[in-house]
Structure 1
Amino acid sequence: MTGVAFFDTGVRAEPGSFRDPGNRVFHRHGEVLRGLDERSARDWHALAAADFFRDLLAAGKVCGTEELTPAPVDLPWAAVLRHERIPFVSHPYEWTYGMLRDAALLHLDVLRMALADGFTTKDGSAYNLQWRGATPVFIDVGSFEPARDGEPWAGYRQFCQTLLYPMLLQAHLGVDFQPWLRARIDGIEPDQMRRLFGGTRRWRPGVLTHVHLHGAMQARNARASTADVRAQLRAAGYSRELALATVRGLEKLVRRLDHRPGESYWSDYQRTCAYSVPDRQAKEEFVDRAVAAAAPGLVLDLGANDGRYARIAARQAGYVVAVEQDAAVADALYRALRAAGERRVLPLVMDLADPSPGGGWRGVERAAFGDRARADLVLALAVVHHLAIGRNVPLAEVLDQFVALTAPGGSLVVEFVHPEDPMARRLLANKPGGLFPDYRREAFEPLLAARGRIVRQAELPSGTRTLYQVVVHG
């Protein structure tokens, strides 16, 4: 991941961890560490002794965490924690609707358990969660602190803006939430939501309370300090029981918002595409052999569709990230993986012609996809023609993108769909004649050979598609 120099050689601060001055995440020699100041260290020691936190750790709902004792002398913190390393860091605007909803439910589950044991969380951001395959995990251990009587949940606004509002947007209006979260790291503002949910829309579940009343309270208290607002709530009798009731109400609402995206062109691709049974079997065997030969820790499956090849790769790989542009297809894949309890395949929504850029403070607070993805094996199956013909990307640049996502010395498995293939002809039919004179196998193979060593290739039985396995130049 992208980092900056921090304290000493070999120690790099996590660019997305600076907003809480009491603790900071950093990386050293492959370990994920968290430094705590004196106050945060006291909170941690109380947290580590709490029953609810031990229960969360045992259930895998919070990332594995232990304190380094004694604290390393070269790290100037009152205490230092070591966290489990998440296999692949993703961002909420790369998640499907089902993933966002399940992340919200875990966040609320963690908060409810914390409140019942006298703790709370400082924030409610979607970025507090990551994934082990199709299972969410809460990672911001530094967010926990003892609850104070009469104080509301400090993370409510963040929860609304980065989790609840995106769900309301898609569940009630059918608008994809991903572009909204990608555009603003802090999420969707209440003012924007009120404009979208005026008139009779304000009566849809969750809107009146968490959009209009929330916005009205913010406007009323715009000039009041946080201390003033807390004092008003204490005077009004705000209690832990009311906070717990609020969390339970949010849980009930989020469960009610179980939106399933409708069918899309790609939803039934495996049945409607041009593959014959022999083609599919030959392709599966090629991929299986390539994964076995590469013995990869991390695999990227670009254009994963229903995850058929991601699952094949997961049999022998450490972890697979399955990237799919169609949000409905990716969500169906996520739900299938979740039902199977799959913890080694992570589905993500992303357009390969417009991958996630760096974002947030100085453009590095949230790392770009290309900075996070350096895979031991990249699968680019039935995707070249969509980028080269469908999106007008030159063949050389398509391959450069694949190579950039492959670790030096890693393997690339790429499928070239010949111009006479039915799917390629369909794409070419929508383009001016003669626009792609270089889209042919005779031009593709030299470009591929210039970027790595072709160790194996096979033409599918149909004769209109060729698979290549390439060891990328180091």
Structure 2
Amino acid sequence: MSRLSSSYRDPSGFIFQEQGIIKRQINPIFFEEYEAAHEAGIYQALFEKGWLIPHKEELRNEEKIVLVPEQIEFITYPYEWSFTQYKHAAQLTLRLQMFLLDRGFSLKDASAFNITFHKGKAIFIDTLSIEQYKSNEPWRALQQFEQHFFSVLLLSQKYGAHHLKTLATQINGNNLKETAKLLSWKTKFHPVIYPNIHLMARGGSETPKDISKSKSPTLSKESQLKILKVLESHISSMSLSETTEWTEYYDQINYDQQSFEFKKKLVQWWSQELNAVKAIDLGGNDGTFARVLPKDLKQIIVSDIDQAAIDHCYTTELKLTQTSRIIPIVCDLMQPSPAIGFANEERDSFVKRVQDFKPDVSLALALIHHITLTGNVPFEMSAAFFASLSDYLIIEFPDREDSWVRYILDSKRDARHLFDDYGVSAFAKAYSIYYHIDKQELIPGTHRSLFLMRRK
């Protein structure tokens, strides 16, 4: 049994891995709460709604109860979500709390890490967060919700999508006093923002002496439901309008539709030949190429630096299918999500999670010139990185005559000569250190070639 480093905060139980299977242990201190929720049909009802990850009970004795949840092969973290993903995760948390209150239960915490995305939708994964409701007790997790969700969404809406990455550097969420300072003074008169941010920020100023003298606050269930419904409605109406150079990337490509369709077909054919089951599309933009991959591919991670592109990928999948095979994730490959938390082991890095996911093939389309010319990453280094992820690589190489490459080189001005070795020969030579080049084909009407490579 290998206990997961991320599972240490709750004494009620923990997550562990046994023979490659993720399992959850419930400790005796939580038996009563678990039984109450089980007997009330809470878990089954949430399974059926698709709000809670399903589990089956594997073992029960006086020392522990062991659950085997439905396996999720790739976990995304809050700082890797697009705005709409973050919003939907917040709404799920509130809807779950309202559902539980109606049935005499409550969430004991509201961490954004309790949510991930599975089969295209937000899902709650912390079974042991559900406990029995105590009459007239306010929701004690509301402050954590504001720190992890509402404050992040508000600051992202006002100042930009980079605030969506807050939990990468503040794992316990925003300081609400700092959040309040960053918001407009007008928000002090807002019926939702004032009580949930400004008033909540003032609540953390008591000393231990003050707390010992104060009476426990009370709030009826009906009042709590009204507050949560208003908060959920406000979050539902929030939006983020950001236009970036990648938002409409495929409307600005530098080759014609016939060449574009040829490229899609070639990616599809080569992937089909590999009998791949899992893939990752690095720099996958809005998921256009992920969607043409063979149906036998059951799971496809689509990562991109651009929040707006990933947001479009996510919302498009919601419209197209009930059960998506695409896992959208916002990630800058020049600085992918690091390992964070206690001992840097509480949340795994992006690279480690991809390696554990074990994709059969990686796609790197219209990416290498940005990594090499903008990021200054030598071919040998990018080859080593890609080779650490999967056995096969489908990579597109734009040569020096490509208009995007010329544009980037022209922007180098006096430093342009430092990239004189950028070319298909140098690229192939460097990548041959790590790969067998099985196929190479020029995309007609372009100065770009597709390569199918097999790791040595």
Flag whether TM exceeds 0.5 (same fold): yes
Report the more deviating stretch, 242-251 or 20-29: 242-251
Partner of 1:32 in structure 2? 22
Partner of 2:252 in structure 1? 272
| Structure 1: distance between partners of 2:446 and 2:324 | 36
Partner of 2:9 in structure 1? 19
Q: Contact between 1:413 and 1:468, CA under 8 Å: does it hold in 2?
A: yes
**CA deviation map 1:125-163 (0-9, x unaligned):** 110011114211110001111111232222112211111
| Structure 2: distance between partners of 1:65 and 1:109 | 20
- Do the aligned partners of residues 27 and 386 (structure 1) sit closer, same or farther apart at CA in structure 2, a change above 3 Å counting? same
Partner of 1:59 in structure 2? 49
**CA deviation map 1:374-427 (0-9, x unaligned):** 221110001000010011111111122211222xxx211111110110111011
> Tell me, what secondary structure is at the counterpart of 2:400?
coil
Give, as a single letter, the amino acid of the residue that structure 2 aligns with 1:18: Y
- Residue 203 of structure 1: CA displacement? 3.5
| Structure 1: distance between partners of 2:327 and 2:307 | 14
Q: Contact between 1:324 and 1:348, CA under 8 Å: does it hold in 2?
A: yes
Partner of 2:273 in structure 1? 293
Q: Contact between 1:86 and 1:130, CA under 8 Å: does it hold in 2?
A: no
Match of 1:340 among 297, 320, 330: 320
Give, as a single letter, the amino acid of the residue that structure 2 aligns with 1:364: E
Q: Contact between 2:156 and 2:164, CA under 8 Å: does it hold in 1?
A: no
**CA deviation map 1:74-94 (0-9, x unaligned):** xx9421111111131111010
2:314 is the alignment partner of 1:324: no
Gaps of 5+ in 1: 1-10
Report the more deviating stretch, 338-347 or 174-183: 174-183
- Residue 70 of structure 1: CA displacement? 4.4
Give, as a single letter, the amino acid of the residue that structure 1 aligns with 2:403: P
Report the more deviating stretch, 37-46 or 185-194: 37-46
Q: Contact between 1:92 and 1:181, CA under 8 Å: does it hold in 2?
A: yes
Report the more deviating stretch, 134-143 or 397-406: 397-406
Partner of 1:7 in structure 2? none
Give, as a single letter, the amino acid of the residue that structure 2 aligns with 1:21: P
Match of 1:189 among 148, 172, 175: 175
- Do the aligned partners of residues 93 and 465 (structure 1) sit closer, same or farther apart at CA in structure 2, a change above 3 Å counting? same
- Residue 452 of structure 1: CA displacement? 1.8
2:188 is the alignment partner of 1:208: no
Partner of 2:282 in structure 1? 302
**CA deviation map 1:8-42 (0-9, x unaligned):** xxx21111111001200011112111111112122
- Residue 289 of structure 1: CA displacement? 1.7
| Structure 2: distance between partners of 1:423 and 1:43 | 59
- Do the aligned partners of residues 228 and 198 (structure 1) sit closer, same or farther apart at CA in structure 2, a change above 3 Å counting? farther
- Residue 458 of structure 1: CA displacement? 1.0
Give, as a single letter, the amino acid of the residue that structure 1 aligns with 2:91: L
**CA deviation map 1:254-300 (0-9, x unaligned):** 1122x133222112211211122232122112211222122223211
2:447 is the alignment partner of 1:467: no
- Do the aligned partners of residues 264 and 34 (structure 1) sit closer, same or farther apart at CA in structure 2, a change above 3 Å counting? same
Give, as a single letter, the amino acid of the residue that structure 2 aligns with 1:458: E
Q: Contact between 2:379 and 2:431, CA under 8 Å: does it hold in 1?
A: no
Partner of 1:441 in structure 2? 424
Q: Contact between 1:298 and 1:320, CA under 8 Å: does it hold in 2?
A: yes
Q: Contact between 2:310 and 2:328, CA under 8 Å: does it hold in 1?
A: yes
| Structure 2: distance between partners of 1:174 and 1:356 | 19
Partner of 1:170 in structure 2? 156
- Residue 239 of structure 1: CA displacement? 2.4
| Structure 2: distance between partners of 1:328 and 1:202 | 30
| Structure 2: distance between partners of 1:423 and 1:468 | 19
| Structure 1: distance between partners of 2:4 and 2:190 | 40
Report the more deviating stretch, 239-248 or 430-439: 239-248
> Tell me, what secondary structure is at the counterpart of 2:418?
coil
| Structure 2: distance between partners of 1:48 and 1:445 | 59
Instruction: Give the aligned CA root-mean-square deviation in angstroms.
Output: 1.9
| Structure 1: distance between partners of 2:172 and 2:335 | 21
Structure 1 outlier segments of 4+, above 6 Å: none
> Tell me, what secondary structure is at the counterpart of 2:417?
coil
| Structure 1: distance between partners of 2:350 and 2:50 | 26
> Tell me, what secondary structure is at the counterpart of 2:438?
strand
Q: Contact between 1:384 and 1:415, CA under 8 Å: does it hold in 2?
A: yes
2:354 is the alignment partner of 1:373: yes
2:216 is the alignment partner of 1:243: no
Partner of 1:3 in structure 2? none
- Do the aligned partners of residues 318 and 222 (structure 1) sit closer, same or farther apart at CA in structure 2, a change above 3 Å counting? farther
> Tell me, what secondary structure is at the counterpart of 1:81?
strand
Q: Contact between 2:153 and 2:164, CA under 8 Å: does it hold in 1?
A: no
**TM-score computed with the length of structure 1 as normaliser:** 0.91
**CA deviation map 1:349-375 (0-9, x unaligned):** 111111000011111101000110022
| Structure 1: distance between partners of 2:20 and 2:419 | 45
**CA deviation map 1:96-139 (0-9, x unaligned):** 00000001111111111111111111100110011114211110
Give, as a single letter, the amino acid of the residue that structure 2 aligns with 1:242: S
Match of 1:255 among 229, 233, 236: 236
Partner of 1:6 in structure 2? none
- Do the aligned partners of residues 79 and 400 (structure 1) sit closer, same or farther apart at CA in structure 2, a change above 3 Å counting? same
| Structure 2: distance between partners of 1:288 and 1:318 | 14
- Residue 470 of structure 1: CA displacement? 1.2
- Do the aligned partners of residues 284 and 358 (structure 1) sit closer, same or farther apart at CA in structure 2, a change above 3 Å counting? same
Gaps of 5+ in 2: none
Aligned-residue sequence identity (percent) comes to 27
- Do the aligned partners of residues 58 and 175 (structure 1) sit closer, same or farther apart at CA in structure 2, a change above 3 Å counting? closer
Q: Contact between 1:33 and 1:80, CA under 8 Å: does it hold in 2?
A: yes
- Do the aligned partners of residues 112 and 467 (structure 1) sit closer, same or farther apart at CA in structure 2, a change above 3 Å counting? same
2:89 is the alignment partner of 1:103: yes
- Equivalent pairs, count: 450
Give, as a single letter, the amino acid of the residue that structure 1 aligns with 2:389: L
Q: Contact between 1:453 and 1:470, CA under 8 Å: does it hold in 2?
A: yes
Give, as a single letter, the amino acid of the residue that structure 2 aligns with 1:125: S
| Structure 2: distance between partners of 1:204 and 1:322 | 38
Q: Contact between 1:314 and 1:344, CA under 8 Å: does it hold in 2?
A: no
| Structure 2: distance between partners of 1:421 and 1:35 | 56
